[in-house]
Amino acid sequence: MANEDSYLVDANLGLYLVADGMGGHAGGAHASAMCADVVNKVVRRGMARLMGMPQEDVSDVISEILTASVSEASARIFDHAQADRSLQGMGTTLTGILFFGTRGYIIHVGDSRAYLLRTGTAQQLTTDHSWLNEQIEAGLITEEEAQSSDLKHIITRSVGFERMVEADIVSLNVNFGDVFLLCSDGLANYISAEELSDLAVEHHYADLPRVCTELALERGGEDNITVVVVLACNDYDQRKAVRKMSKTVADTLPALP
Protein backbone atom coordinates (compact mmCIF):
# COMPACT_ATOMS: atom_id res chain seq x y z
CA MET A 1 0.00 0.00 0.00
CA ALA A 2 1.34 3.44 -0.91
CA ASN A 3 1.60 5.64 2.16
CA GLU A 4 0.39 9.22 1.75
CA ASP A 5 0.50 10.16 5.46
CA SER A 6 3.13 12.36 7.08
CA TYR A 7 3.71 13.39 10.68
CA LEU A 8 5.88 15.84 12.59
CA VAL A 9 7.33 15.48 16.08
CA ASP A 10 9.27 18.59 17.14
CA ALA A 11 9.66 18.30 20.91
CA ASN A 12 11.92 21.35 21.19
CA LEU A 13 9.31 23.56 19.57
CA GLY A 14 6.40 21.71 21.20
CA LEU A 15 4.72 21.07 17.84
CA TYR A 16 3.13 17.77 16.79
CA LEU A 17 1.29 17.20 13.50
CA VAL A 18 -0.49 14.50 11.49
CA ALA A 19 -1.23 15.02 7.78
CA ASP A 20 -3.13 12.66 5.48
CA GLY A 21 -2.44 13.37 1.81
CA MET A 22 -4.77 12.88 -1.14
CA GLY A 23 -4.54 13.13 -4.89
CA GLY A 24 -2.81 9.90 -5.84
CA HIS A 25 0.28 8.47 -4.18
CA ALA A 26 2.79 10.94 -5.61
CA GLY A 27 0.56 13.95 -5.02
CA GLY A 28 -0.78 12.90 -1.63
CA ALA A 29 2.58 11.99 -0.16
CA HIS A 30 4.10 15.19 -1.52
CA ALA A 31 1.28 17.38 -0.18
CA SER A 32 1.33 15.93 3.34
CA ALA A 33 5.13 16.13 3.61
CA MET A 34 5.21 19.68 2.27
CA CYS A 35 2.42 20.73 4.65
CA ALA A 36 4.21 19.39 7.73
CA ASP A 37 7.48 21.02 6.67
CA VAL A 38 6.03 24.44 5.88
CA VAL A 39 3.91 24.61 9.03
CA ASN A 40 6.90 23.65 11.15
CA LYS A 41 9.12 26.34 9.60
CA VAL A 42 6.49 29.10 9.75
CA VAL A 43 5.61 28.33 13.36
CA ARG A 44 9.28 28.20 14.37
CA ARG A 45 9.90 31.55 12.70
CA GLY A 46 6.78 33.10 14.17
CA MET A 47 7.35 32.03 17.77
CA ALA A 48 10.27 34.47 17.96
CA ARG A 49 7.60 37.21 18.09
CA LEU A 50 6.61 36.07 21.59
CA MET A 51 9.86 37.20 23.21
CA GLY A 52 9.01 39.91 25.75
CA MET A 53 5.35 40.02 24.68
CA PRO A 54 2.72 40.73 27.38
CA GLN A 55 1.09 37.49 28.52
CA GLU A 56 -2.39 38.69 27.64
CA ASP A 57 -1.40 38.97 23.96
CA VAL A 58 0.26 35.57 23.62
CA SER A 59 -2.81 33.46 22.75
CA ASP A 60 -3.95 35.80 19.98
CA VAL A 61 -0.48 35.92 18.44
CA ILE A 62 -0.07 32.13 18.54
CA SER A 63 -3.42 31.78 16.78
CA GLU A 64 -2.22 34.23 14.13
CA ILE A 65 1.01 32.26 13.69
CA LEU A 66 -0.81 28.96 13.27
CA THR A 67 -3.31 30.48 10.84
CA ALA A 68 -0.47 31.97 8.80
CA SER A 69 1.35 28.64 8.72
CA VAL A 70 -1.64 26.84 7.21
CA SER A 71 -2.25 29.65 4.72
CA GLU A 72 1.34 29.49 3.52
CA ALA A 73 1.29 25.70 3.32
CA SER A 74 -1.93 25.71 1.29
CA ALA A 75 -0.64 28.35 -1.13
CA ARG A 76 2.67 26.55 -1.68
CA ILE A 77 1.04 23.17 -2.25
CA PHE A 78 -1.51 24.64 -4.65
CA ASP A 79 1.10 26.60 -6.62
CA HIS A 80 3.35 23.55 -6.80
CA ALA A 81 0.49 21.48 -8.19
CA GLN A 82 -0.30 24.12 -10.79
CA ALA A 83 3.32 24.00 -11.95
CA ASP A 84 3.37 20.20 -12.24
CA ARG A 85 0.38 18.64 -13.99
CA SER A 86 1.11 15.23 -12.48
CA LEU A 87 0.42 16.70 -9.03
CA GLN A 88 -2.73 18.67 -9.82
CA GLY A 89 -5.56 18.08 -7.36
CA MET A 90 -3.31 17.13 -4.47
CA GLY A 91 -4.07 18.25 -0.95
CA THR A 92 -3.83 17.09 2.62
CA THR A 93 -5.55 17.12 5.97
CA LEU A 94 -3.73 18.68 8.91
CA THR A 95 -4.29 18.15 12.61
CA GLY A 96 -1.79 19.14 15.24
CA ILE A 97 -1.09 20.73 18.57
CA LEU A 98 1.40 23.39 19.67
CA PHE A 99 2.27 23.64 23.36
CA PHE A 100 3.27 26.93 24.91
CA GLY A 101 3.39 27.43 28.65
CA THR A 102 0.36 25.77 30.21
CA ARG A 103 -1.80 25.87 27.09
CA GLY A 104 -2.19 23.79 23.98
CA TYR A 105 -3.27 25.16 20.60
CA ILE A 106 -5.02 22.78 18.22
CA ILE A 107 -4.74 23.43 14.47
CA HIS A 108 -7.11 21.51 12.22
CA VAL A 109 -8.18 21.13 8.58
CA GLY A 110 -9.92 18.03 7.19
CA ASP A 111 -10.91 14.78 8.88
CA SER A 112 -7.82 13.75 10.81
CA ARG A 113 -8.53 14.11 14.52
CA ALA A 114 -7.17 15.20 17.88
CA TYR A 115 -8.39 13.60 21.11
CA LEU A 116 -7.75 14.53 24.73
CA LEU A 117 -7.45 11.58 27.13
CA ARG A 118 -8.02 12.88 30.66
CA THR A 119 -9.18 11.17 33.88
CA GLY A 120 -10.41 8.05 32.12
CA THR A 121 -12.34 9.81 29.38
CA ALA A 122 -11.62 10.64 25.73
CA GLN A 123 -12.83 13.89 24.18
CA GLN A 124 -12.62 14.68 20.47
CA LEU A 125 -11.13 18.16 20.17
CA THR A 126 -11.63 18.62 16.43
CA THR A 127 -14.66 18.72 14.16
CA ASP A 128 -14.42 16.74 10.92
CA HIS A 129 -14.55 18.85 7.78
CA SER A 130 -16.38 16.13 5.89
CA TRP A 131 -19.56 15.71 3.89
CA LEU A 132 -20.86 13.11 6.32
CA ASN A 133 -20.33 15.32 9.35
CA GLU A 134 -22.16 18.16 7.63
CA GLN A 135 -25.08 15.78 7.03
CA ILE A 136 -25.05 14.76 10.69
CA GLU A 137 -24.99 18.37 11.90
CA ALA A 138 -27.86 19.20 9.54
CA GLY A 139 -29.88 16.33 11.03
CA LEU A 140 -30.12 14.50 7.71
CA ILE A 141 -28.40 11.31 8.85
CA THR A 142 -27.47 9.76 12.19
CA GLU A 143 -23.96 8.99 13.43
CA GLU A 144 -24.82 5.30 13.15
CA GLU A 145 -25.77 5.73 9.49
CA ALA A 146 -22.56 7.65 8.88
CA GLN A 147 -20.51 4.79 10.32
CA SER A 148 -21.79 2.40 7.66
CA SER A 149 -21.54 4.90 4.78
CA ASP A 150 -19.20 4.46 1.84
CA LEU A 151 -18.69 8.24 1.66
CA LYS A 152 -16.32 8.67 4.61
CA HIS A 153 -13.51 9.73 2.28
CA ILE A 154 -15.26 12.91 1.09
CA ILE A 155 -13.85 15.92 2.92
CA THR A 156 -15.01 19.51 2.48
CA ARG A 157 -11.80 21.30 3.46
CA SER A 158 -8.14 20.48 2.85
CA VAL A 159 -4.75 22.14 2.71
CA GLY A 160 -3.55 22.77 -0.84
CA PHE A 161 -6.52 21.67 -2.91
CA GLU A 162 -7.32 25.37 -3.18
CA ARG A 163 -4.87 28.20 -2.67
CA MET A 164 -6.70 29.52 0.40
CA VAL A 165 -8.11 27.48 3.25
CA GLU A 166 -9.59 28.28 6.65
CA ALA A 167 -8.16 26.36 9.61
CA ASP A 168 -9.85 25.74 12.94
CA ILE A 169 -7.78 26.95 15.90
CA VAL A 170 -8.76 25.79 19.38
CA SER A 171 -6.87 26.59 22.59
CA LEU A 172 -7.18 24.83 25.93
CA ASN A 173 -5.50 24.53 29.31
CA VAL A 174 -3.16 21.57 29.63
CA ASN A 175 -2.90 19.63 32.89
CA PHE A 176 0.01 17.41 33.83
CA GLY A 177 -1.01 13.87 32.97
CA ASP A 178 -3.10 14.89 29.95
CA VAL A 179 -2.61 12.72 26.89
CA PHE A 180 -3.25 14.01 23.37
CA LEU A 181 -3.77 11.54 20.56
CA LEU A 182 -3.52 12.76 16.95
CA CYS A 183 -4.54 10.39 14.17
CA SER A 184 -5.49 10.12 10.53
CA ASP A 185 -8.90 8.79 9.55
CA GLY A 186 -7.37 5.36 8.96
CA LEU A 187 -7.68 5.00 12.74
CA ALA A 188 -10.61 7.29 13.54
CA ASN A 189 -12.95 5.40 11.18
CA TYR A 190 -12.53 2.19 13.18
CA ILE A 191 -12.17 3.19 16.83
CA SER A 192 -14.59 5.37 18.79
CA ALA A 193 -13.70 7.91 21.47
CA GLU A 194 -15.22 5.64 24.10
CA GLU A 195 -12.98 2.80 22.99
CA LEU A 196 -9.94 5.07 23.05
CA SER A 197 -10.63 5.95 26.68
CA ASP A 198 -10.86 2.24 27.56
CA LEU A 199 -7.64 1.45 25.70
CA ALA A 200 -5.84 4.29 27.49
CA VAL A 201 -6.89 2.86 30.84
CA GLU A 202 -5.93 -0.71 29.92
CA HIS A 203 -2.52 -0.03 28.32
CA HIS A 204 0.59 2.06 28.84
CA TYR A 205 0.51 5.26 26.83
CA ALA A 206 3.66 4.17 25.01
CA ASP A 207 1.76 1.16 23.67
CA LEU A 208 -1.33 3.07 22.47
CA PRO A 209 -0.18 3.63 18.84
CA ARG A 210 0.58 -0.08 18.39
CA VAL A 211 -2.57 -1.26 20.16
CA CYS A 212 -4.85 1.17 18.29
CA THR A 213 -3.27 0.40 14.93
CA GLU A 214 -3.58 -3.36 15.41
CA LEU A 215 -7.24 -3.01 16.41
CA ALA A 216 -8.05 -0.85 13.37
CA LEU A 217 -6.36 -3.38 11.09
CA GLU A 218 -8.25 -6.26 12.70
CA ARG A 219 -11.49 -4.43 11.91
CA GLY A 220 -10.62 -4.20 8.25
CA GLY A 221 -8.70 -0.95 8.08
CA GLU A 222 -7.17 -0.56 4.64
CA ASP A 223 -6.15 3.10 4.69
CA ASN A 224 -2.87 4.52 5.96
CA ILE A 225 -2.82 4.83 9.74
CA THR A 226 -0.81 7.47 11.57
CA VAL A 227 -0.93 7.98 15.34
CA VAL A 228 1.01 10.45 17.48
CA VAL A 229 0.56 10.26 21.26
CA VAL A 230 1.75 13.14 23.46
CA LEU A 231 1.88 12.94 27.26
CA ALA A 232 2.13 16.19 29.23
CA CYS A 233 4.46 15.60 32.16
CA ASN A 234 6.50 17.77 34.50
CA ASP A 235 10.02 16.64 33.66
CA TYR A 236 11.33 18.31 30.51
CA ASP A 237 14.41 16.10 30.33
CA GLN A 238 12.29 12.96 30.14
CA ARG A 239 10.70 13.76 26.80
CA LYS A 240 11.54 11.18 24.19
CA ALA A 241 10.44 10.02 20.78
CA VAL A 242 9.87 6.29 20.73
CA ARG A 243 9.69 3.71 17.93
CA LYS A 244 7.92 4.23 14.63
CA MET A 245 5.71 1.56 13.10
CA SER A 246 5.45 0.42 9.53
CA LYS A 247 2.05 2.07 9.02
CA THR A 248 3.59 5.48 9.90
CA VAL A 249 2.92 5.43 13.61
CA ALA A 250 4.91 7.68 15.97
CA ASP A 251 4.67 7.58 19.74
CA THR A 252 6.02 10.57 21.64
CA LEU A 253 6.23 11.20 25.35
CA PRO A 254 7.20 14.86 25.85
CA ALA A 255 6.92 17.33 28.68
CA LEU A 256 5.53 20.80 28.20
CA PRO A 257 8.08 23.45 27.19
Give tens-digit pLDDT for 36-57: 999 999 999 999 888 888 888 9
DSSP 110: S
pLDDT at residue number 251: 39
108 has which bridge partners? 95, 168
Altogether, the residues listed in the chain come to a count of 257
Given CATH 2.40.30.10, say whether it is the number of domain 5-253: no
Domain boundaries, the chain: 5-253
Per the CB < 8 A criterion, the answer to whether 3 and 249 are in contact is: no
CA distance 231 to 110: 24
Pairing of strands 179-183, 113-118: antiparallel
Sign of torsion over alpha carbons 145, 186, 161, 126: positive
pLDDT band at residue 25 using 50, 70 and 90 as cut-offs: low
pLDDT tens digit sequence for 127-176: 999 888 888 888 887 777 777 777 777 899 999 999 999 999 999 999 98
pLDDT tens digit sequence for 192-215: 999 999 999 999 888 999 999 999
